[in-house]
């Protein structure tokens, strides 16, 4: 494995359960250790509530660990977030600028990419109308088109692999797949084993906030299928 | 500060101002109509009903309210800003101070419009422009620093203490009455007066009135003192925000 660009060592994250002084804390992540090398595509698997989404936000730098260590090389890291900061009364164009700025793009970069955003979102004349007039499908098309303009060194994806109606789903999935295979590093959280198998080179299995296994994607998926899938039926032991 | 953060603050402030325009029929007119109505009410109560004896009461009141309204909007709008944007803060990595800054910038643009109207009213009442106007930008910058400092501080603690939003308006109203906006601080009896004079807003409002009404230059040593206090509060508030940012992300939604 080449040099790690992100390294987590025994990372734990605690959340306050209520807004109250001395309220209970809940450890969403207990003890996670992982390494991500340049060009790695890491799949995160585990049951609901295992801490997968929390892990993505730690890697993104949004959450700081309450215990353990995280080290990150000088790389840009972005959670694929749709419609961040969208304002209903603003036009699609203004929202593209606002959201792009929030995602870390410069104004002139957004203006330069505007033709691609307009074309990809297929909004036509609606692009200069307030987004409060948009349908849900139109909103997700705009959100996706803007989010795709960010080109981080590490792309973090939480389940979103395609958006919109049937036709746009295909188009957005293809665009995202192209981005994923463009050489950046990827961390993907997904419940779909097939997606993980197709996309990822490595996988990490998280259980109750702990990393259980980390390695080649096939080996981890196999172990996960053996353990996790059998257990809920009560047939294990 | 990184360029895209500055661009974000300016563009968000523009979005904020556009939002206000689109949320009402009269749009921009409310920027002036709202403070004008408020000034009208205070004028009626203090000048007509209570028959305040002070000469020059109308310009005294108009200047005080204009300057106060700016401070109040910055603290009130800016103070809510982090709490209102927790969803965004959970999604993307941004300095939390961006959100109050946006509100402060938007309120400052509105203030400048109201100030222009105030100057026209004062001139038409016979309070002519004078050499001391040169000091006005300095006084206003000190107020901006002080208002930002308080706004950042309120914004910093609001997410952890959301109950604050139920009392912030009352606290601000109370502060208005002890900041010499409608009742001159000089009319207050001695031990309390010295205490009230510690409030930087008293000096800022008085300096503004001195310039606009009497052509007096600010008392520089006092203004310098207020500037130092304001900058110290400003830096302290920014430190508080950056120290608390990791907690905002973890708050229950």
Q: What is the pTM of this model?
A: 0.90
Chain A residues closer than 8 Å to B18 by CB:
89-90, 94
Per-residue model confidence as pLDDT tens digits over A22-71? 777 889 999 999 999 999 999 999 988 889 999 999 999 999 999 999 99
The arithmetic mean of pLDDT across residues A209-218, rounded, is 92
Per-residue model confidence as pLDDT tens digits over B118-177? 999 899 889 999 999 999 999 999 999 999 999 999 999 999 999 999 999 999 999 999
Which residue spans within A48-201 are E strands per DSSP? Answer: 67-72, 77-79, 154-158, 185-189
B113 in helix, strand or coil?
helix
Residues of chain B predicted below pLDDT 70: 1, 52-53, 253
Q: Which residue of B has its CA nearest to A95?
A: B15
Q: Which residue of B has its CA nearest to A18?
A: B252
Strand partners, A210: A31, A207
**Residue A200 to residue B73: CA distance in whole angstroms:** 51
**Residue A196 to residue A38: CA distance in whole angstroms:** 18
Whether B250 and A63 lie within 8 Å, measured CB to CB = yes
Interface ipTM: 0.86
**Residue B231 to residue B149: CA distance in whole angstroms:** 8
Contacts across the A-B interface (CB distance below 8 Å): 71
Average model confidence (pLDDT) across chain A? 89
Interfacial A residues in 106-145 facing B (CB < 8 Å): 106-107, 130
Instruction: Please answer whether residues B59 and B47 qualify as being in contact, where contact means their C-beta atoms are separated by less than 8 angstroms.
Output: no
Q: Which residue of B has its CA nearest to A147?
A: B92
Counting beta carbons within 10 angstroms of the beta carbon of residue B20, is it exposed (0 to 12), middle (13 to 18) or buried (19 or more)? middle
Per-residue model confidence as pLDDT tens digits over A118-139? 999 999 999 999 999 999 999 9
The pLDDT, as a whole number, for residue A236 is: 36
């Amino acid at each position: 494995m080449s040099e790690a660009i992100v390294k987590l060592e025994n990372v734990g994250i605690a959340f306050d359960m209520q807004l109250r002084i001395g309220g209970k804390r809940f450890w969403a992540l207990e003890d996670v250790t992982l390494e991500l090398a340049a060009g790695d595509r890491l799949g995160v698997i585990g049951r609901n509530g295992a801490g997968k989404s929390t892990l993505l936000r730690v890697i993104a730098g949004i959450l700081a660990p309450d215990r353990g260590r995280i080290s990150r090389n000088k790389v840009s890291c972005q959670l694929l977030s749709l419609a961040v900061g969208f304002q209903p009364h603003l036009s699609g164009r203004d929202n593209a600028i606002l959201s792009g700025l929030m995602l870390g793009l410069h104004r002139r970069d957004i203006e330069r990419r505007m033709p691609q955003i307009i074309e990809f979102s297929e909004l036509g004349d609606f692009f200069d109308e307030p987004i409060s007039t948009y349908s849900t499908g139109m909103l997700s098309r705009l959100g996706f088109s803007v989010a795709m303009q960010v080109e981080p060194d590490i792309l973090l994806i939480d389940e979103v692999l395609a958006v919109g109606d049937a036709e746009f789903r295909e188009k957005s999935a293809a665009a995202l797949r192209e981005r994923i295979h463009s050489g950046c590093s990827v961390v993907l959280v997904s419940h779909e084993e097939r997606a993980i198998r197709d996309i990822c080179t490595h996988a990490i299995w998280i259980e109750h906030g702990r990393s259980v296994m980390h390695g080649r994607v096939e080996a981890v998926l196999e172990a996960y299928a053996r353990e996790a899938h059998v257990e809920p039926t009560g047939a294990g032991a | 500060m990184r360029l895209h953060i500055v661009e974000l603050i300016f563009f968000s402030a523009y979005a904020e101002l556009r939002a206000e325009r689109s949320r009402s029929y009269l749009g921009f007119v409310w920027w002036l109509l709202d403070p004008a109505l408020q000034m009208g009410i205070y004028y009626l109560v203090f000048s007509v009903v209570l028959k305040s004896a002070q000469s020059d009461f109308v310009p005294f009141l108009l200047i005080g309210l204009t300057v106060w309204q700016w401070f109040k909007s910055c603290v009130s709008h800016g103070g809510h800003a982090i709490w209102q944007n927790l969803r965004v803060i959970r999604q993307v990595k941004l300095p939390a101070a961006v959100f109050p800054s946006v509100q402060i910038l938007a309120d400052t643009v509105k203030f400048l419009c109201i100030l222009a109207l105030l100057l026209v009213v004062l001139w038409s009442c016979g309070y002519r422009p004078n050499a001391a106007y040169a000091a006005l930008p300095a006084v206003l910058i000190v107020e901006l620093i002080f208002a930002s400092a308080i706004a950042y501080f309120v914004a910093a603690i609001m997410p952890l203490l959301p109950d604050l939003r139920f009392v912030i308006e009352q606290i601000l109203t109370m502060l208005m009455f002890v900041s010499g906006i409608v009742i001159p601080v000089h009319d207050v009896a001695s031990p309390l007066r010295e205490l009230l004079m510690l409030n930087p807003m008293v000096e800022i409002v008085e300096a503004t009135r001195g310039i606009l009404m009497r052509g007096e230059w600010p008392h520089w040593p006092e203004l310098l003192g207020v500037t130092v206090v304001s900058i110290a509060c400003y830096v302290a508030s920014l430190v508080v925000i950056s120290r608390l940012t990791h907690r905002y992300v973890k708050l229950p939604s």
